[in-house]
A and B are shown apart, each in its own frame.
Chain A
């Protein structure tokens, strides 16, 4: 995983170098700031990945695969309705938030069931 971090770090630095070249051409602030932020973000993510040293997920035994999730759909539709509601009125936002809450509750329920199933199958 450290090698993946290196890819991100090198790429972020490449972006930073290209941004730096702008200095020769009297850049305006906006054209400099945007790629500077993006390259900083990339280097930061690379550093985080390096520091966490997240190992590859090596699975030796069986693993559990979720099959479906209607709750996820409810969550997304709720977000969509709430977002569109921002242009049409508070009533729509509230409906969207309501659907989101249902969805979120469903996702939590699915997670609990998943843990139960894992324990039952002796995978934990």
Chain B
């Protein structure tokens, strides 16, 4: 497979490149910068709560958690989840490039423009948006959130989301139309399947956010769009129709990474592939119908229906966990950093998932909604869970992307610090929530006795910050003092390992035969049988 590359006429290749690998790499760097910024906001928030007020004003605190949540969802985790798919789906299906490369480039710039727009709010006289990452009406309307910070937020979120929809279209199109000969749908790797399902949710779920934000903007400028009562309900009904699939967009790609990592470091193929694919599809469909469990305490929509669909999520989730554990069964295990992070994901995500089942029950949600119990729940799923899956993927794929291995000792230090940090920060929040601590408060009465646990949580957040510094140090050291990785340092199973590290512009010089979802493993097993 040869290709003719057109010469680039511009100096900056990275930000204008239509190579899906460079676009994905740039997107990850942009997202990482936003992660550091959002993390700094979190440290500020934690100082405020440990000191029980006095660090920032109430209004500023509202801006801090609004921008922290908005940054982490719209500018970090969703973009990274899609960017890793942008990089690896073409490779995993044996394609030379992504479908619609300039559309993918457009998505990168929408992320950048969107993020800049949102954060510019801090430079305005009224400050950044302060109506939470949901931007819910009527708090976010022109009476209660006047000022350009909210406008910049609305447009920023719209741009970032539009970019994500474009990316999802590219990835879906690649997986459906650019597969190499021999790669049927049921031979696509586990990670690719999780990306396909993720992108379907993005395409059919994310437009609801664009509609909600459009209505909000119209309400701010013309009024009488989101009329009292029904208007507030309609905004959140639309928002959460996006807002629930988005948390699965922040889950499935990392599930896919964990699947690849567990299989590779168990030296055997992923268990229960067909059941897993069916479970994924069922899971994604269900996830589009559970969204109003965020609105139980309105008492307006059919709580029982949403309790039914939300609780039913246990079935596909249980199948997926079964397949993860069964992949470890009778495996020859290698405890690399990547593998450790995958194990961490399995254990810690489970805490988030089980507390999610608790919140899915309206009688329990009536008592726990909007409290620190919920804050703990979603940080366990997204940070102690998905972010661990992301690091499993990073330590796994860094050699492929850069051609250099990450240091294992530093990686294990990173892992240990992050386990300690996430649990010390977020577990006490379950207790505080059960004791009646509301979320989004800048201070609390001393008589509640909550300060002790808040101080503990802040200590935990410092440990998390340390773990991030260790990770950054690992990347720096590994790139400066390179240990060459070669094509396939792990003895892995899928097509991205059948090319150089990093891959050439057109991805592959030649492809091995494709007979299952683990083509390289098939080759190795065939050689063993022949006695090579």
Contacts and interface: CB of A to CB of B under 8 A. Distances in A.
Contacts of B105: 69, 72-73
A108 interface: no
B301 A31 contact: yes
Given A30-B237, A73-B105, A87-B148, 13 more contacts: A7-B281, A25-B302, A27-B301, A59-B96, A62-B3, A65-B96, A69-B101, A70-B10, A72-B105, A76-B113, A80-B117, A84-B155, A113-B6
Interface in A79-119: 79-80, 83-84, 86-88, 107, 113-114, 117
A104 to B, nearest CB: 12
Given A27-B305, A34-B237, A72-B105, A14 B281 contact: yes
B123 interface: no
Interface stretch (B15-23, B253-261, B266-274, B428-436): B15-23
Contact of B289 (A10, A11, A15, A123): A15
B8 A123 contact: no
A57 B302 contact: no
Interface of B: 1-10, 13, 15-19, 96-97, 101-102, 105-106, 109-110, 113-114, 117, 148, 151-152, 154-155, 158-159, 176-179, 181, 184-185, 200, 204-205, 208, 217, 230, 233-234, 237-238, 241, 281-282, 284-286, 288-289, 292, 300-302, 304-305, 308-309, 505-506
Nearest to B186: A3
A48 interface: no
A88 B148 CA distance: 8
A10 B285 CA distance: 10
Contact of B152 (A14, A77, A87): A87
A42 B110 contact: no
Given A1-B176, A62-B4, A87-B152, A11 B284 contact: yes
B3 A56 contact: no
Contact of A73 (B6, B15, B205): B15
Contacts of B241: 34-35, 38
Interface in A19-38: 19, 21-22, 24-28, 30-31, 34-35, 38
A88 B151 contact: yes
Contacts of B109: 72-73, 76-77, 80
A86 B305 CA distance: 39
Nearest to A58: B181
A64 interface: yes
Nearest to A33: B237
A124 interface: no
A56 to B, nearest CB: 6
Given A15-B289, A27-B305, A38-B205, A65 B3 contact: yes
Contacts of B10: 68, 70
A35 B289 contact: yes
B234 A30 contact: yes
Nearest to A21: B305
B96 A83 contact: no
A81 to B, nearest CB: 8
A54 B177 contact: yes
A73 B16 contact: yes
Contacts of A65: 3-6, 19, 96-97, 101, 505-506
Contacts of A53: none
A24 B292 CA distance: 16
